[in-house]
C-alpha cells in the first residue's frame, strides 16, 4: 500500500510532446490480478476500515452488531472479510503440512467479503442525493493452485531456532523451580504467573543473541510473514463478486447491478514472473444500458535488487447495445527503491478508451509516485 | 503465556514417548525437560522423544515448553499439541491455543506428572 504518494500526471509528457495530454489516470496496475476482496472491487470502493473476524465469537459479535444497526435501511459503510477455515484454531496442522497443502488450498484460502456503500463508487454521491440509496457487494475468493512456497523457508527456520532457544530458557527456569519445590507441579496458575513474571521473561530474553531478539520482534517476524506471502511456481486464484443496488435502502427492493469473475493463472519466479488474467464483468444490469466486458491480459514482471519493471497488455472486448468493441491497454511500469520502504514509481501507458481505440499518443500519461513498491511478482 | 498441568498414568513395561507440534501452521520451537534434565529440543515438530521405561519415569515431572510465533498472514491463531504415549490413554493429546497480536509470540507450558501403577 502506498504510504506517501505524490503524483504528477502528464506534466512531463505535456512538455515533451508539446500538446495537451488527456488528464486521466493510468489505471492502478495492481488491478491486473484477482482482487483480495472482490466485494470491495465490484463496488469500486477502498474501505478505510475492514472488519476481519478471526474467531466464531468475534464473527457472531460482528453479525449481531450489524443486526442491531439495521433499522429498515441497509447500513451505508459495512466492510467485512471472513476466512471461514481460520475462524477455528488448528492445533494439529503443522507448518510443513500446510506448506504442501495442494488442493486443500481451495477451502483453506477461501474468503468471503461483504460491503455496503452509499456512493456510486470512487466516492461519487448517490443519485439525486437520496440518503437511503445503497449498494451492496458480495464476493468470494479462493486459490486453485497455491504455487510452491518451499518446505520450510529460511526465515521460518531461523525464527523457530530463536523460539527454541527462548523456550528452552523458560522451560529450564520452570523445571528448576518445580524441582526445588518453589512451584507446585499441579498449580497451573502459579506456574503461569511464574513464566509471565518480568524476571523470567528478562532471563529468557537474555539467553538470546541480539540477532535472535530481533528475529522474534514483531518487525522481524513481520518480515518473514511478508516472505511467506510470496508464492513461487504455478499459481492460480479465482474470485467472483456481485453488486446489487437498493434505491430505497430496503433489503427487499434490491436489484443485481454488476457481476464479475476473475481468474489469474501465473508462473511466479524469484525475479521473472508472468501473470495472466481473465476477467468477465457485467455492468449496469439494473438499467437499459447494460454492457459486458471480457478482458484477457498478460503481465510480465522482472525484479532485481532495488529495481523492478513490468509490462502489461490487456485486450478488452466490450459488448454494449448489441455492438462489440475491441480495445487494448498497454502499460510499462518501473520502480526504483530510493530509501527504506520508499520507491519511485514511473508508469507509462495507454488505457482502454471507448472513444479513441488504439490512440496511444493521445492517451499517454506519466505518473510519478513516491510510496511502496508497486511492482510485485505475485501481486 | 498459557499453562496446563496433567496427571498421566503410565503402564509398566511400556516406553513413555512424547511428541510436540506447533499448530496452526505457525513457526516455533520446543524444549522437553524430565525433571530438570533437558531431554530434547527442536523446531516446529519434535516426534518420538523417548523418556524411558514407565517404571523409571513414574513420579517424575515432564515440562514441555513451547514458543509459537505468528508468522502466518492468514491467521493470528497460535497453538501447540503435546502427545503422550505409553500410558492411559495412549496416545493422549494435550492441546493449547491462543490468539496473539499480528507477528506476536506465545509461550505454552505443558506440565505432566507421571503416575505409575503402584502410585
Cβ contact A228–B73 (<8 Å): yes
Q: How many CA atoms lie within 13 A of A85 on its CB side?
A: 16
Name which residue leads in pLDDT, B53 or A53.
B53
Task: Kindly give the pairing relationship between strand B105-115 and strand B3-10.
Answer: parallel
Weakest mean pLDDT among A4-8, A23-27, A268-272, B10-14? A23-27
Q: Is residue A253 pLDDT above 90, yes or no?
A: no
The B residues from 68 to 107 touching A (CB cutoff 8 Å) are 68-77, 79-81, 93, 95-97, 99, 101-105, 107
Name which residue leads in pLDDT, A58 or A1.
A58
High-pLDDT (> 90) share of chain A, %: 38
- How confident is the model over A106-117, as pLDDT tens digits? 999 999 999 998
Name which residue leads in pLDDT, B78 or A133.
B78
A355 burial type by CB count under 10 A (0-12 exposed, 13-18 middle, 19+ buried):
exposed
How far is the CA of A241 from the CAs of A27, A44, A259, A260, A349, in angstroms? Answer: 20, 12, 6, 5, 28
Is any Cβ of chain B less than 8 angstroms from the Cβ of A225? yes
Tell me the pLDDT band of A307, cut-offs 50, 70 and 90: confident
pLDDT the model gives residue B57:
96
Question: Which residue bears the cell 518480515?
Answer: A223
pLDDT the model gives residue A7:
40
pLDDT the model gives residue B7:
96
Cβ contact A94–B23 (<8 Å): yes
pLDDT the model gives residue A355:
60
pLDDT the model gives residue A34:
72
pTM: 0.78
Q: Is residue B84 pLDDT above 60, yes or no?
A: yes
How far is the CA of A244 from the CAs of A47, A77, A137, A352, in angstroms? Answer: 18, 15, 6, 25
Spatial CA neighbour of A331 closest among A307, A377, A376, A365: A365
Farthest-apart Cα atoms in chain B, separation? 49
Q: How far apart are CA B25 and CA A108, in angstroms?
A: 12
- How confident is the model over A149-202, as pLDDT tens digits? 666 789 999 999 999 999 999 999 999 999 999 999 999 999 999 988 999 999
What is this model's ipTM? 0.96
- How confident is the model over A35-46, as pLDDT tens digits? 778 898 888 888
Mean pLDDT, residues A245-272 taken together? 88
Q: How far apart are CA A248 and CA A131, in angstroms?
A: 9
Amino acid at each position: 500500500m502506498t504510504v506517501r504518494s505524490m503524483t504528477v500526471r502528464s506534466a512531463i509528457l505535456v512538455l515533451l510532446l508539446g500538446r495537451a495530454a488527456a488528464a486521466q489516470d493510468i489505471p492502478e496496475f495492481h488491478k491486473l490480478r484477482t482482487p483480495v476482496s472482490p466485494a470491495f472491487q465490484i463496488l469500486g470502493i477502498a474501505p478505510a476500515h475492514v472488519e476481519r473476524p478471526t474467531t466464531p465469537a468475534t464473527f457472531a459479535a460482528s453479525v449481531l452488531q450489524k443486526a442491531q444497526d439495521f433499522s429498515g435501511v441497509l447500513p451505508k459503510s459495512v466492510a467485512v472479510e471472513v476466512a471461514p477455515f481460520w475462524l477455528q484454531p488448528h492445533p494439529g496442522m503443522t507448518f510443513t503440512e500446510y506448506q504442501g497443502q495442494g488442493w486443500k488450498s481451495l477451502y483453506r484460502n477461501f474468503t468471503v467479503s461483504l460491503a455496503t456503500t452509499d456512493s456510486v463508487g470512487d466516492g461519487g454521491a448517490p443519485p439525486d442525493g437520496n440518503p437511503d440509496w445503497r449498494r451492496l457487494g458480495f464476493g468470494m475468493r479462493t486459490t486453485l493452485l497455491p504455487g510452491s512456497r518451499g518446505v520450510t523457508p529460511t526465515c521460518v527456520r531461523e525464527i523457530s531456532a530463536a523460539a527454541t532457544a527462548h523456550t528452552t530458557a523458560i522451560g529450564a527456569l520452570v523445571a528448576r523451580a518445580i524441582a526445588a519445590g518453589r512451584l507446585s507441579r499441579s498449580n497451573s496458575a502459579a506456574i503461569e504467573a511464574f513464566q509471565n513474571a518480568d524476571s523470567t521473561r528478562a532471563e529468557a530474553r537474555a539467553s538470546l543473541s541480539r540477532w535472535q531478539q530481533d528475529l522474534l520482534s514483531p518487525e522481524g517476524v513481520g518480515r518473514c510473514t511478508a516472505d511467506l506471502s510470496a508464492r513461487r511456481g504455478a499459481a492460480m486464484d479465482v474470485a467472483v463478486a456481485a453488486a446489487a443496488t437498493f434505491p430505497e435502502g430496503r433489503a427487499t427492493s434490491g436489484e443485481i447491478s454488476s457481476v464479475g469473475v476473475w481468474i489469474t493463472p501465473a508462473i511466479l519466479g524469484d525475479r521473472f514472473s508472468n501473470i495472466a488474467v481473465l476477467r468477465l464483468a457485467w455492468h449496469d444490469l439494473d438499467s437499459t444500458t447494460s454492457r459486458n466486458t471480457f478482458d484477457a491480459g498478460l503481465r510480465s514482471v522482472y525484479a532485481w535488487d532495488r529495481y523492478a519493471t513490468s509490462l502489461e497488455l490487456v485486450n478488452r472486448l466490450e459488448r454494449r447495445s448489441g455492438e462489440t468493441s475491441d480495445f487494448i491497454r498497454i502499460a510499462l511500469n518501473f520502480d526504483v527503491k530510493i530509501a527504506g520502504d520508499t520507491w519511485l514509481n514511473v508508469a507509462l501507458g495507454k488505457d482502454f478508451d471507448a472513444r479513441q481505440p488504439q490512440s496511444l499518443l493521445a492517451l499517454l500519461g506519466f505518473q510519478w509516485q513516491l510510496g511502496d513498491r508497486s511492482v510485485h511478482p505475485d501481486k | 503465556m498459557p499453562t496446563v498441568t496433567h496427571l498421566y498414568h503410565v503402564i509398566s513395561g511400556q516406553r513413555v514417548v512424547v511428541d510436540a507440534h506447533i499448530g496452526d501452521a505457525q513457526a516455533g520451537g520446543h524444549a522437553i525437560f524430565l525433571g530438570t534434565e533437558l531431554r530434547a529440543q527442536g523446531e516446529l515438530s519434535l516426534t518420538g522423544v523417548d523418556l524411558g521405561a514407565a517404571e523409571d519415569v513414574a513420579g517424575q515431572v515432564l515440562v514441555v515448553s513451547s514458543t509459537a510465533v505468528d508468522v502466518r498472514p492468514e491467521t493470528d491463531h497460535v497453538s501447540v499439541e503435546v502427545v503422550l504415549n505409553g500410558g492411559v490413554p495412549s496416545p493422549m493429546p494435550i492441546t493449547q491455543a491462543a490468539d496473539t497480536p499480528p507477528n506476536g509470540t506465545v509461550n505454552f507450558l505443558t506440565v505432566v506428572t507421571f503416575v505409575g501403577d503402584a502410585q
